Structure 1
Amino acid sequence: MEVLRPVLININGRIYRKNPVQEECYEEEEDDYPSSGAAAEQCLDEPCDAYNIEQTDRGFRCAIDVPSVLYKYIIGKKGETRKRLESETKTSISIPKQGVEGQIVITGAHRAAVASAVTRVEVLIDSFRRKQPFTHFLSFALNHPQVQQGFLRFREQVLELCGQDAGVDESIFQNPAKLHLTIGTLALLNEQEVTRASELLQQCRDAIRDITEAKPLPVEVRGIEYMNDDPSMVDVLYAKVTVRDGSDKKTMQVYVKIHGTIMNTLFRKDPSAEDKGASARPNAKDREAFNAKNILQMFGEVYFGAFELNSVQISQRFSTDSTGYYSSVGRVTFS
């Protein structure tokens, strides 16, 4: 079935088939470059016009922007991956020194050879970029003073009435200053990518304001819910958020995938841990679940507060600004 239905990868608007290969473990070397022993993913060697391949007096050349943290995957253990790519495509691949941000430059006598090498490098980059931990996330801040006060009341009452329940203690509650909705996660691996992400968010400003009618969104935070099927073994408890349309006749409910975490067993070991989302759930052995039956029964419809939401921002993980919220590298207001 892998042959009949291969994984498809979108690179610069073009779709490539990814043939299954067995990846080996990557090991750090004591060379100038960390390297790896993995064989590069294979892809179709078809000519491609998605890259700026320049003709020179010695043949053809293409420069690719690649974050330095990904160099080691192109080099491979003891340079084996780069050597194999160069041999198979009859090209030369120049990579900056480790830690120096720059471009990987591919040169060759024939345009098709350079295009093939570029495609293979891009597939490698795409594959290993997906394995990088996310560095930033799109967020809606829920840390309005009224919501923070409601959350603190909730925490106090839960600890008073349910503090004897298995796994319930103060360490698993969210920091009230960092209450938020996570809209999406980003792996921005250098300053250039951070700048580009901020620029792209700004380009979406008009579209965002069309959706919000250039007005803040009236938001109510009320009720709690959990993520798994067993309320006695819960890892994440989240607040439900309702965005009203102004008529009070209809509401749009923000459900599980987009949620405001209020209790998370990840915080038990690491108070600064953020919600990792459905695509990066930690191993069950790394966290101790808690019994939320009584919390759900007593506080199922707890009211945290209401306010007008007026911005979306790119927040940086493991950071704090002057308000106690995450530092922002880009923001768009609704009004």
Structure 2
Amino acid sequence: MESSANRKKTKIVTTTVWRPVSTQANSSEDCMMNDQVSAELELDNQVGEVQDIMSNSVSDNERARVEAGAANEVVASEHTSSSVLKKDDGDLLAEGSMSSGEKHSIRIEAAAPMIRFIREKENSTWKKIEEEIGVKIIFPPGKKEYITIEGISAECVTTASEKFQILIKEVIKSPALNYTHFVSLPLAIHPQLVEKLFHFQNSILGISSKNEVTCLDDDNNQDTSDEESREIPSDRAHVVAVNLKAEEGNKNPKAGPPRASKSSKLDEKTTALSALGIDKSIFIKPKTFHLTVLMLKLYNKDLVDVAANVLQSLSSKIMHALDGQPVAVRLKGLDCMRGSFAKARVLYAPVEVIGGEDRLLRACQVIIDAFTEAGLVLEKDARQKLKLHATVMNASHRKRNKYSRRADTFDARGIVEQFGSEEWGEYLIREAHLSRRFVYDENGYYQCRVSIPFPEKSE
């Protein structure tokens, strides 16, 4: 018979799922824009980074099997002892601790963007955990979705793990950490509206070619220059903004100098716009145009699956809230979210629900309440009151290099003078999506996890 010293030990891996703290929405709070633009205004340098936002976590069924003791995943290793750490439902994904000789370790799973945020923005906090408890926190290279905590005893590793997961919960609440998903009402499904938005951007930027305008919808072609530092008198820049009409140019193939003149004028307009804080990167991409119902932070696969199930379960309730009748919106004019047009952060088209907004707001509230009850909404977001709006320009989307120091505002006075009474049109709301930010489908709209239909014909 083999001695106990020669027996192989096993490591049983357990996982638990973190969910954000939430409360019921309070409609008596001050009216705030549900697009969470105030949070987004602080996220300028993160937009290009957040591409892979869901952790490779195990499913609830797998977790249940582990806790039941059936079909456990067992990893054999020589001369290794192990322990199983059971976490409360509030904890993020964590694996059981293991020791080798005098070294003990535990792995905590989380999405790569969150790990990167903690490593870079919360370095003083996790370093304090290391110093106080006497452990080492190891961040993985690349986009691996876990961190490892090592220590000389199981007790210190467990204590450090608990403190680190408290840090994760606090980070989730931070406005500096991106939202990953949102519930959207797509408007880009209407081609005529998309064309109007391209014309709007074209007119402001002074681009006459439709092919050039299409570049506005491509992240890779967005302006990253640092022309803000070039000073132009504000009165001259304002006049340029009001009169940004596409130039016809000289079509005579023998006329060389006019071509140079046209290019020079376009450069002058670009420079003038830069002085106003306007460049093509702050325009909303027309093919993503939408209304926002609710912003979400779903930083692992389990949370995304829960959110998808919640939205799919609401189909009949949405139909009831809409009285089984189609709902359409009218977009007219422009307004800014806060402050003045001279120092605008967000420019949007106000939304009027045709026939009164009660039905559409009722339907949206059904969605908000269901997601809140499921524990998927942050407490501060649950307190906000919905006001539907369609954003056309957002300074927080500005592309910039590391030397840029320009404030996140732009002068929208000329734009409002030219487009302040714009009739954008009337459009049917056909469906609601659980949309993933920063990832797009073949049509250019946000990747859809699930969708539910709105009525298109009267019952």
On whether the aligned pair clears a TM of 0.5, the verdict is yes
**2:444 — aligned with what?**
324
- The answer on whether the counterparts of 1:205 and 1:332 sit within 8 Å (CA) in structure 2 is yes
Deviates more, 1:119-128 or 1:207-216: 119-128
- The answer on whether the counterparts of 1:162 and 1:295 sit within 8 Å (CA) in structure 2 is no
Distance change >3 Å, CA 150–CA 196, structure 1 → 2:
same
**2:408 — aligned with what?**
287
Confirm or deny that 1:62 pairs with 2:107.
Answer: no
1:249, CA displacement in angstroms? 12
Following superposition of structure 1 onto structure 2, how do residues 11-22 of structure 1 map, counting pairs within 5 Å? Answer: none
**2:101 — aligned with what?**
none
Q: Unmatched 5+ residue regions in structure 1?
A: 1-9, 15-53, 87-94, 109-113, 271-282
**2:395 — aligned with what?**
265
Identity %: 25
- The answer on whether the counterparts of 1:147 and 1:221 sit within 8 Å (CA) in structure 2 is no
CA distance in 1, matches of 2:326, 2:146: 40
Following superposition of structure 1 onto structure 2, how do residues 84-233 of structure 1 map, counting pairs within 5 Å? Answer: 99=144, 123-131=166-174, 132-143=177-188, 144-159=190-205, 161-163=242-244, 166=273, 167=276, 168-233=278-343
1:13, CA displacement in angstroms? 7.8
CA distance in 2, matches of 1:130, 1:264: 22
CA distance in 1, matches of 2:199, 2:338: 25
What secondary structure sits across from 2:416 in the alignment?
Answer: helix
Question: Residue type of the partner of 1:138?
Answer: V
What secondary structure sits across from 2:305 in the alignment?
Answer: helix
- The answer on whether the counterparts of 1:244 and 1:251 sit within 8 Å (CA) in structure 2 is no
Question: Which structure has the larger Rg over C-alpha atoms?
Answer: 2
CA distance in 2, matches of 1:169, 1:12: 38
CA distance in 1, matches of 2:133, 2:295: 32
Question: Residue type of the partner of 1:231?
Answer: F
CA distance in 1, matches of 2:345, 2:179: 21
CA distance in 1, matches of 2:297, 2:318: 22
1:149, CA displacement in angstroms? 2.1
- The answer on whether the counterparts of 2:115 and 2:145 sit within 8 Å (CA) in structure 1 is no
- The answer on whether the counterparts of 1:177 and 1:325 sit within 8 Å (CA) in structure 2 is yes
C-alpha RMSD of matched pairs (Å): 4.8
- The answer on whether the counterparts of 2:351 and 2:388 sit within 8 Å (CA) in structure 1 is no
CA distance in 1, matches of 2:313, 2:205: 45
The aligned length equals 259
Distance change >3 Å, CA 67–CA 295, structure 1 → 2:
same
Question: Residue type of the partner of 2:184?
Answer: S
What secondary structure sits across from 2:440 in the alignment?
Answer: coil
1:191, CA displacement in angstroms? 1.9
- The answer on whether the counterparts of 1:55 and 1:61 sit within 8 Å (CA) in structure 2 is no
CA distance in 2, matches of 1:135, 1:158: 31
TM-score calculated relative to the size of structure 1:
0.58
- The answer on whether the counterparts of 1:215 and 1:310 sit within 8 Å (CA) in structure 2 is no
- The answer on whether the counterparts of 2:440 and 2:447 sit within 8 Å (CA) in structure 1 is yes
Q: Which has the higher helix share?
A: 2
CA distance in 1, matches of 2:419, 2:332: 10
- The answer on whether the counterparts of 1:135 and 1:189 sit within 8 Å (CA) in structure 2 is yes
TM-score calculated relative to the size of structure 2:
0.44
- The answer on whether the counterparts of 1:137 and 1:183 sit within 8 Å (CA) in structure 2 is yes
**1:44 — aligned with what?**
none
Deviates more, 1:126-135 or 1:302-311: 126-135
- The answer on whether the counterparts of 2:182 and 2:435 sit within 8 Å (CA) in structure 1 is yes
Between the two structures, name the one with larger relative contact order (CA 8 Å, sep ≥ 6): 2
CA distance in 1, matches of 2:166, 2:445: 36
Distance change >3 Å, CA 171–CA 71, structure 1 → 2:
closer
Following superposition of structure 1 onto structure 2, how do residues 20-59 of structure 1 map, counting pairs within 5 Å? Answer: none
CA distance in 2, matches of 1:323, 1:333: 19
Q: Which has the higher strand share?
A: 1
Q: Deviations over 1:101-146 (max 9, x none)?
A: 79x9xxx9xxxxx9x9998776443212223322222212121112
Question: Residue type of the partner of 1:151?
Answer: L
CA distance in 1, matches of 2:359, 2:315: 26
1:325, CA displacement in angstroms? 0.8
- The answer on whether the counterparts of 1:148 and 1:177 sit within 8 Å (CA) in structure 2 is yes
1:153, CA displacement in angstroms? 3.1
- The answer on whether the counterparts of 1:137 and 1:184 sit within 8 Å (CA) in structure 2 is yes
Question: Residue type of the partner of 2:171?
Answer: F
